[in-house]
Amino acid sequence: MRRLVVLLLLATALTSCGGDDTVDVPKGVTVRLEQVRQDLQNRKFSVQVVNHGTTSITVEKARLESGRLPKAAVYTGPAVIEPGTEVNLTTEMPPARCGRGLDATVRLTYSVDDGKTVESTVKPTDHFGSVGRFMKRDCAARTLGKLVIDDRLTVRGKGKNATISVGFTVTPPAKGDPVHLVRVDGSTLLAPESDAATTIDRTTEPGGEPLHAEVTFIPNRCDVHVVAEDRTGGIVPLRLESKAFGSSPIYLRFKEPQKAQIFDYLAERCGFGKVQDPLNAP
């Protein structure tokens, strides 16, 4: 019996020696997640390291793990975070599963004041709730199924009366929950021609027939500077509702040939190159 106890104690000691050797993050250092506006056009987000401490840290790697992700999202540095600063470590988010909350940890590999490399595991906060909304959009897209925008956008009318219409097809998955397509909203470039012109109010059923819808827009602003400097006009939000995720938008994402058609429409409708821009008037 005594020999068995000794063996059990030895096994416990060996297990402890092989455990997690992480350390606490330096005092004043916190980690939060954020997706900034310009990253809405892709799958980028940031692990934001905030240093309110008194020493600089150099991050070699930041690894976000979540029960809602099929694999970790990894940032590879180095990135130096000086005292009194915050730095966005930008990386790509794998498509998230449906679920609740972030269910996430961040594992930082870093050094303090150019010392030896250590690791810390922290629970990040969700700055402004932006990454939680990102995951919710993934859940909504997964529940909705396959969405394909028509290659050719349709311009109707001429001059200041011209509109542009976007058609798209949704093919529901074989299993899941029904999804109600509410409406499509505008962007910095495009505004709904009217409430009715971008209202869909139709529901898909799992395993059901594909749904085709068309929505119609006019320019949001005839300002050449807005068009030239735009970062998010290449997407428009499609509002969805379902038991699986509640209420959430997903984004209709225009490919380059479709964006070119939108820019051509805006140039013609707004008279770019034909009408004097008041900001550049002589």
Assign residue 165 the CATH number of its domain.
Answer: 2.60.40
Total tally of structural domains belonging to the chain: 2
> Distance between CA 82 and CA 224 in Å, rounded?
39
- Whether residue 123 has pLDDT greater than 60: yes
Average the pLDDT over each of 159-168, 207-216, 229-238, 254-263 and give the range with the smallest value: 229-238
> Distance between CA 75 and CA 46 in Å, rounded?
9
Q: What is the arithmetic mean of pLDDT over 125-143?
A: 96
Q: Are residues 241 and 175 in the same domain?
A: yes
Q: What is the arithmetic mean of pLDDT over 141-160?
A: 97
What is the pLDDT at residue 275?
57
Q: Are residues 217 and 171 in the same domain?
A: yes
Q: Are residues 78 and 173 in the same domain?
A: no
Average the pLDDT over each of 112-126, 129-143, 268-282 and give the range with the smallest value: 268-282
Domain-embedded: residue 206: yes
Q: Are residues 115 and 186 in the same domain?
A: no
Cβ atoms 177, 143 nearer than 8 A: yes
Q: What is the CA radius of gyration of the chain?
A: 25
Amino acid identity of 265?
Answer: Y
Residue range(s) defining the domain that contains residue 47: 26-134
Domain-embedded: residue 180: yes
Domain-embedded: residue 169: yes
Q: What is the pLDDT of residues 162-215, one digit of tens each?
A: 999 999 999 999 999 999 999 999 999 999 999 999 999 999 999 999 999 999
Q: What is the pLDDT of residues 2-11, one digit of tens each?
A: 554 444 444 4
> Distance between CA 23 and CA 251 in Å, rounded?
40
Burial of 190 (0-12, 13-18, 19+ CB in 10 A): buried
Angle at 255 between CA 249 and CA 257, to 5 degrees: 145
**Which of 201, 192, 185, 144 has its CA nearest to residue 165?**
192
pTM: 0.84
